[in-house]
Amino acid sequence: MRVLGIDPGSETLGWGVVEGNGLKYAAVDFGVVRSNRRHPFATRLANVYDGVAAVIESFRPDVVSIEEAFYAVNAGVAIKLGQVRGVMLLLAEQRGLTIAEYAPRLIKQTVVGYGNAEKHQVQEMVKVLLRLKSVPTPHDAADALAIAICHFHHSGVRKKIEDRAR
């Protein structure tokens, strides 16, 4: 299974591709899609769409794992992140990919063992779990890798629940 993790952002969107089976997985590649904050928001949405579409075309993931919406102090930021998430969900749906969404606290709990972990802790654990030589940077890409790792840890449980519901 190949998972594309996405850490949504309108200025910097992190992505990470992880491949494996069960709890055995490895990093394929990771990076960010950057947008100019001076550009109109619709232009930035088109930019992240095109950037992630290119990643999907290059790496052919089976699953898109994305961070769920969270509460932000600034409502405007939360709305913009929601719009970026919507564009990513649309892109994944258009490409016929399985979509998995995970809460930020669950991602941190899964990767670090603590739901309120800080950015540098997530980066360090991603490095360890993926056996990387150095900490993945920027933190947006590390977060995307963490989101993909989270899917590997929870997809088996999710499948069992879905199978029992049938």
Q: Which residues are catalytic?
A: 7, 67, 140
Ramachandran class of 72: left when φ > 0, alpha when ψ lies in -120 to 50, beta otherwise: beta
Taking CA atoms, 74 is separated from 8, 25, 31, 49, in Å, by 16, 36, 26, 24
